[in-house]
Structure 1
Amino acid sequence: MRKLWGAACVAAALATAPVQAACWNTQDVAAARVRDLQSMLMVATLRCQAAGIAIAADYNGFVGANKQALQMMNDLLKRHFSREKGVLQGQKEYDSFTTRLANTYGAGGTSSYDCETSSLIARDARMMNGNVDGLLLIADRAGIRTEVPGGMCGPMVLAQASGPQE
């Protein structure tokens, strides 16, 4: 009877445990790349503002024009971490991941050229008007190569997720 009870407890624990995601699928990688683009532009806007160069209107225009797409991709990203770690730990992992994204841009340049480049990227991204494929194209053109913990699933995803091969 004890063995049966122990087996039932193990089965119940396994049934309620979060599904482990060994790698990132194409949608999750796209979500991470869009979030990376947003982080890059947000940090550039803050750096430029601190240097007295105003590009916030371009960043805010980008966010406003792409609000639904940004939210949708952010929700996908949160779901990735929740699937992997459960809701509570997944939120912590998500927060850590997005903080790492932003921190990668913290030491970037803040010259007038850097700020103008970021402003142009934000304006181009604004023109995507919620088109995720367009935002991914902008991320490619901006040279964004998002590293995802655990890596991407399969060789086909690597080519699709990292953009055009040169």
Structure 2
Amino acid sequence: MLVSSATALLSLSLATPAAAQNCWNGAAVKAAKVRDLQTLLMVGALQCRSTQYDVLGHYNRFVKAHRTTISAHNDVLKTHFVRAGKARDYDRFTTAMANGHSAGAANPEFCRETAALAEQVAGLGRTEVEAIADRMFVSPKGVGRTCS
């Protein structure tokens, strides 16, 4: 009985780190939210090129102003997937975000709203961009269980 209890305890302690790696910590969730914002703006830049709304120009200013922020959050996301043993899922994750926003582009207001958002965030600092992403994307597509 003691041997089986010790074996069960050992297997539980070995399983815990793997389980913890599959959850989303606060930094990974924040990174997913910023990536979701950037992806929304990128989809707008692509989908709204033939409209009266200058999403592309505002998006380019956003990327230029926040290149280091975007890159840092992408690094956090990639690290999350590598630690979970699912490095290949990063591309699926970001593609699913883009596909979700592409579906929303059918809304007639999408280009107007996305252009206004891109213009707004291009002129903000990192903390403000992160706060907007946090408010807009409470539960980004593909983010699973969060770590306690």
- TM-score, length-scaled by structure 2: 0.77
Gaps of 5+ in 1: 1-13, 155-166
The 5 A counterparts of 1:9-158 are 20=18, 21-51=21-51, 53-85=53-85, 89-90=86-87, 92-110=88-106, 113-129=109-125, 131=126, 133-142=127-136, 145-154=139-148
Number of aligned positions between the proteins: 131
Larger relative contact order (C-alpha < 8 A, sep ≥ 6)?
2
Kindly provide the CA deviation profile for residues 125-157 of structure 1, in whole angstroms up to 9, marking residues without a partner as x: 11223x1x3222222454553134431113xxx
8 A Cα contact 1:45 1:56, kept in partner: yes
Q: Please give the per-residue CA displacement for 1:71-102, whole angstroms capped at 9, x wherever unaligned.
A: 000001000001111xxx51x11111101111
TM-score (norm 1): 0.69
> Is contact 2:45-2:55 (8 Å) kept?
yes
The alignment's C-alpha RMSD in Å is 2.2
Task: Please state whether the residue corresponding to 1:49 is helix, strand or coil.
Answer: coil
Q: Tell me, what secondary structure is at the counterpart of 2:99?
A: helix
- Identify which range, 74-83 or 43-52, moves more after superposition: 43-52
Give the direction of change, closer, same or farther, for the CA distance of 1:51–1:111 in structure 2 (3 Å limit). Answer: farther
